[in-house]
Structure 1
């Protein structure tokens, strides 16, 4: 019996090795000028027909248009192997079209897998989409304007309705649109991947779109658009059971973002131990605006340096549909049970909001953000707000695209501003200012059951209040340490305000600055 099992294992090993193929054996040149798409596809097709294995790319530059990954195939990019995207837009196919959050038809790709399983891209090699060069060629023949034509350009990698996907070790460079898009797929591992993708618009790093059982770890992302972005462009499958850890993120937009397209739920997502730096929009942006239920999200142990507007939490009613003919418009969603803890952020002085603010939390009338806890949060801000700024009215923007600038040009609170919230808990919050700010550190408008405890922060002598509560029913404000004094600790306004309890506040005399 043991001998029989040994023979089976040996036969299986030999069969697996026999299924591995080398793209050069199928005619790929790897010279960087010859279009190798057909040869690469033949190698992949041969590999899957034999039962699967590795499609090996030795060192070289493999110029290519769309490549379709098949069942049981792993692309192995050996050291100094480079898949180079063609700059001819006609070399790309769109196997699964859809519409993005801006209303643009998208879906073309360099590497794509649709409805397959047990696939991967691994190795020490790289994939370069040559995005800037492709754009330069594209606009020579299509002059309709960037906002209308960018979606025709290919993503670098698309994984569509696949199961058991591994992307490990490789580097992804300079996509012509989104860098990597994973749609309605399960059992995904993204590990030790480096992404450098900027130079053209919409260079998202990783887009996780309605995927489940996902692990992302030890990756380094430098992106021209959102670095790590969770989406649900279809209502039929949630983003669920996802763990992200030890990422380094730089972005010209948001570092961690959820919900630009948001039809199906976002739930059971845990993100931890990430370093965010030099990010020109939000550090953390959690959004649901197209009917999704966003719930049971935990984000912890995050550092941010030189980040514009560290956090935006938004429940809105844009209610877009992204897969025309396959989905229908949904009612407003929900935003519930989110915990963000252990965050240290250095907010950029040059921000979308002028003067800058730290955290924005807002639902819409009749639809509350509920049960959010922010705990152990430290944010340093520039300051500079005036008494007039403290009374600025923020637009509701109920059906607008969910961005920080949507609520600009400024926010009446310099630290945390919250509107249409229930069960908001803000614990152990430390805020610092580089210069005086006459706005309140915290404002709540239309809130219920709000708890502020364990705050440490400065107050400017000319400020009307440190905390302002407008039409708030049920609030606890306790255990504050304040350097300096405002005219009032807590100012209560609005005919619907009631049940506000204030506790201990310790005032500390500011240390005189040396001349």
Structure 2
């Protein structure tokens, strides 16, 4: 049985007023020196800056325990603060933003570790973290002493994150880069930017998590150049998760689920900016392989997005059993593009081998179709859509059938990149080879005069049981 280390025995107060940073790190160091152990936070509020995990240490938050991110110093050197951002390889390029390129400047960080865990029914509250690289009127994330992530892991093996709740987590609730054998289960995340970001990771399972992230993505797979080399995100399974983008931050954790949109007018005024979805991309230099997304619920957020625009290959993706409730924009968005944010000479990758089946989507505020969009000379390949049932707002006029959306090959990928008035009611497909559609049904709340399908440069298509 692992030895248990109580931070109070190392000087922690747990009163929410005194800084417990040094005591918490002493407890972690003691557990590591013992060959491994559990640092157990009992009920109380532990105010802290950066906690440095070590191999074979399990951080456990009991019910009633709150790990609270302290405020950074108002000026550099004016007082204790978060660990300095490391001089990372990624800092020498501009292929991804500052938040993706550093890990030490976090509430909890782990670099090059093995056999670590963060578990328990307690709460991690990132109140003192900033939630962007730079925000007008706020401290910049790159300023000394400032933290911008709740949990950041780099090059770690055999990691478990389970059971905890994470509130207001800064730029990322969980950022894992170059990690392997990662199990994330039963997290409740209620945050002001990204929920879980998996970057250049392998052998990952994310299960039974609930994530509310109105201002950014809930679960996002990336393959940036943060390791200083091309590396894919591969062998990832996401199952049984619920993601949302329209609850007031904190109301998922407390159970009230209070909507950000109040009243019909505001609902229609805010159909575009709520995020909260599951996405592959945008950063995609290394590509994605063998990704499985199963039995997940999207609630009042954007739909599923599969994107490769920076040269990496996106292949062997299987999606099944999605329920999209009050989804905004396109329910499914697949994009092969040529933004090419990567090393010199990078060329468009391949997007192929995608199967999406058993999807139910309700779109009360949107009439956008499913979008499959490659670029000239680079087609999306071998896509199967089966058992897709869409309920759209409808109401589009017949004149939209003549719209020719821009190619926008180098643009940031987003369903609105082609405009919100697309020429198809159910499926927009351009630059695709090998498309199979079976049992695709569209219902419209209002009559929609656009054709069910709009297709250009689509080769080897097979369609059956498609209608409205």
Same fold (TM over 0.5): yes
Contact in 2 for aligned 1:71/1:117 (Cα 8 Å): yes
For 1:237, what is the secondary structure of its paired residue? coil
Aligned-residue offset at 1:411: 1.0
The match for 2:157 among 163, 168, 178 is 163
- CA distance in 1: counterparts of 2:18 and 2:423, whole angstroms: 59
- CA distance in 2: counterparts of 1:39 and 1:153, whole angstroms: 19
Q: Which residue of structure 1 aligns with residue 268 of structure 2?
A: none
Q: Which residue of structure 2 aligns with residue 460 of structure 1?
A: none
- CA distance in 1: counterparts of 2:125 and 2:135, whole angstroms: 17
The reply on whether 1:340 has 2:356 as its aligned counterpart is yes
- CA distance in 2: counterparts of 1:408 and 1:274, whole angstroms: 28
Q: Which has the larger radius of gyration?
A: 1
Q: Which residue of structure 1 aligns with residue 313 of structure 2?
A: 293
The match for 1:214 among 193, 204, 222 is 204
The match for 1:229 among 213, 220, 225 is 220
The reply on whether 1:305 has 2:325 as its aligned counterpart is yes
Aligned-residue offset at 1:219: 1.0
138 and 445 in structure 1: CA distance in 2 versus 1, 3 angstrom threshold = closer
Q: Which residue of structure 1 aligns with residue 440 of structure 2?
A: 429
Q: Which deviations, in whole Å up to 9, do the C-alpha atoms of 1:373-397 show, x marking residues without a partner?
A: 0100000101111122111121111
Aligned-residue offset at 1:207: 0.6
TM-score between the two structures when normalised by the length of structure 2: 0.85
Contact in 1 for aligned 2:178/2:201 (Cα 8 Å): yes
The match for 1:420 among 415, 425, 431 is 431
Aligned-residue offset at 1:104: 3.2
Q: Which residue of structure 2 aligns with residue 384 of structure 1?
A: 395
- CA distance in 2: counterparts of 1:439 and 1:29, whole angstroms: 65
Structure 1 range deviating more: 125-134 or 28-37: 125-134
> After superposition, where does 1:147-226 map in structure 2 within 5 Å?
153-198=147-192, 203-224=193-214, 225-226=216-217
Aligned-residue offset at 1:318: 0.5
TM-score between the two structures when normalised by the length of structure 1: 0.77
Q: Which has the higher contact order (CA 8 A, sep 6+)?
A: 2
Contact in 2 for aligned 1:88/1:134 (Cα 8 Å): no
Q: Which residue of structure 1 aligns with residue 465 of structure 2?
A: 454
Contact in 1 for aligned 2:333/2:371 (Cα 8 Å): yes
The match for 2:112 among 112, 115, 126 is 115
Aligned-residue offset at 1:343: 0.4
Contact in 1 for aligned 2:130/2:148 (Cα 8 Å): no
- CA distance in 2: counterparts of 1:88 and 1:307, whole angstroms: 37
Unaligned runs of 5+ in 2: 246-273
The reply on whether 1:393 has 2:390 as its aligned counterpart is no
For 2:300, what is the secondary structure of its paired residue? strand
The match for 2:244 among 245, 250, 253 is 250
- CA distance in 1: counterparts of 2:413 and 2:205, whole angstroms: 27
237 and 447 in structure 1: CA distance in 2 versus 1, 3 angstrom threshold = same
- CA distance in 2: counterparts of 1:101 and 1:64, whole angstroms: 31
Contact in 2 for aligned 1:426/1:453 (Cα 8 Å): yes
Q: Which residue of structure 2 aligns with residue 474 of structure 1?
A: none
- CA distance in 1: counterparts of 2:369 and 2:106, whole angstroms: 37
The alignment of Structure 1 onto Structure 2 pairs a total of residues equal to 419
134 and 287 in structure 1: CA distance in 2 versus 1, 3 angstrom threshold = closer
The match for 2:71 among 78, 81, 87 is 87
- CA distance in 2: counterparts of 1:127 and 1:360, whole angstroms: 38
- CA distance in 2: counterparts of 1:409 and 1:347, whole angstroms: 14
Q: Which residue of structure 2 aligns with residue 482 of structure 1?
A: none
Contact in 1 for aligned 2:217/2:275 (Cα 8 Å): yes
Aligned-residue offset at 1:65: 1.1
Aligned-residue offset at 1:47: 1.2
The reply on whether 1:40 has 2:40 as its aligned counterpart is no
271 and 131 in structure 1: CA distance in 2 versus 1, 3 angstrom threshold = farther
Q: Which residue of structure 2 aligns with residue 104 of structure 1?
A: 97
For 1:221, what is the secondary structure of its paired residue? strand
The reply on whether 1:124 has 2:144 as its aligned counterpart is no
Q: Which residue of structure 2 aligns with residue 5 of structure 1?
A: none
Aligned-residue offset at 1:166: 0.2
Q: Which deviations, in whole Å up to 9, do the C-alpha atoms of 1:458-488 show, x marking residues without a partner?
A: xxxxxxxxxxxxxxxxxxxxxxxxxxxxxxx
Q: Which deviations, in whole Å up to 9, do the C-alpha atoms of 1:405-447 show, x marking residues without a partner?
A: 2111321111110000000111110111111111111011111
Aligned-residue offset at 1:456: 2.7
The match for 2:235 among 238, 241, 244 is 241
- CA distance in 2: counterparts of 1:238 and 1:253, whole angstroms: 24
